[in-house]
Amino acid sequence: MQAYQLVDWQQPAALREVDVPEPGPGQVLVRIGGAGACHSDLHLMDWPAGQLPFEPPFTLGHENAGWVAQLGAGVDGLDVGEAVAVYGPWGCGRCRACRASKENLCERQGEIGAFGGGLGRDGGMAPFMLVPSPRLLLPLGDLDPRDAAPLSDAALTPYHAIKRSLPVLTPGSTAVVIGVGGLGQMAVQLLRALTAARIVAVDPNRDHLQRASELGADAGFAPDADTAAQIVELTGGRGAQLALDVVGSDETMELARAVAAVEGHLTVLGLAGGSLSWTAMGVLPWECSLTSTYWGSANELGEVLDLARAGRIRADVERFALADAGAAYDALRAGRIAGRAVICPND
């Protein structure tokens, strides 16, 4: 079968011929319906050797959904043909965090090296994907795997971040989402579904701002020298109880800092490599927390899927054939993907 693989660091990915994997004891073979193309994959292609604790080659695609194709010996609780989402971060399965379904926070990640399928191990941009344990699969029910694939990252990641901030997102509060592409659009939907907060979207792309408005944002701004002051004025001078930076550049982190409220949360999801200078006083408002988050728990992915099945959230998906995976990433890099590009190897 063909697979879209990262062959070497700082090189574009390429289609390569690989063997169809055979599931061993405890493993599951999944026929992939959809594999989301993520901005973090572009970072993988751009970063030099040594940036991450694993090495190519491996098949890309870390947000995946499909159908159970074959069960390894000893696997039960799944049926061949069942639609499933693949939980992306693969931990040891045995530490305290993993036993609480928080494999994104696995205590033995340093020993394991690879983060999961599509991140050091073979992911979903191939007709079949080998999943090491059934604990990493969640039932989709009537959701189409081709449309549900982005929920496993593009929705789970902001869901986890927003859930941490629910105590401060009370009625009358404000949440600012900086960057409303595919992941930011999911953040807007989740904020609308989970909170009564005023939602402010920030993005230089007018089409993205328009889509954010359609999804529930109350206000939108293209970033300029006055954006922070305008947002603070909109909040009556209080600032934002949650400033969610989906980009992570110097400029976006500075904007998030400038709009954050006293006792607010500044949460960085993006991987653009920005930094925020720190001094003991003056960088952030009093008792405002600065944090980064990584994916979410398997239980939280189940909650995301429940929201999708209830019609509260959905990913805007543009489908691509496996042969067009390179074109999908080119479009993603150029900002031409309105929501989420999904590679569909079996269409």
Give tens-digit pLDDT for 261-302.
Answer: 999 999 999 988 898 887 766 789 999 999 999 999 999 999
Do 13 and 60 meet the contact criterion of CB atoms below 8 Å apart? yes
CATH ID of 156-292, from 3.30.70.1280, 3.40.50.720, 3.40.980.10, 3.30.450.20: 3.40.50.720
User: Which residues are registered as beta bridge partners of 258?
Assistant: none
Tens of pLDDT, residue by residue over 39-66, are: 899 989 999 999 999 999 999 999 999 9
Do 61 and 343 meet the contact criterion of CB atoms below 8 Å apart? yes
Question: What's the mean pLDDT when you consider all of the chain?
Answer: 96
Q: What is this structure's pTM? A: 0.96
Same fold, 2-153+296-344 and 156-292: no
Q: What is the pLDDT of residue 280?
A: 66
Q: What is the pLDDT of residue 276?
A: 87
Between CA 59 and CA 200 the distance in angstroms is: 37
Torsion, Cα of 92, 95, 96, 97 (10° steps): -20
- Closest residue by Cα to residue 342 from 38, 45, 68: 38
User: Given the structure tokens 């922070």, which residue do they identify?
Assistant: 228
- Closest residue by Cα to residue 61 from 134, 138, 145, 168: 145
Q: Enumerate the domain spans of the chain.
A: 2-153+296-344, 156-292
Kindly tell me if the per-residue pLDDT of 157 is higher than 80.
yes
Q: How far is CA 66 from the centre of its chain?
A: 18
Q: What is the pLDDT of residue 282?
A: 73
Q: Which CATH architecture has domain 2-153+296-344?
A: Alpha-Beta Complex (3.90)
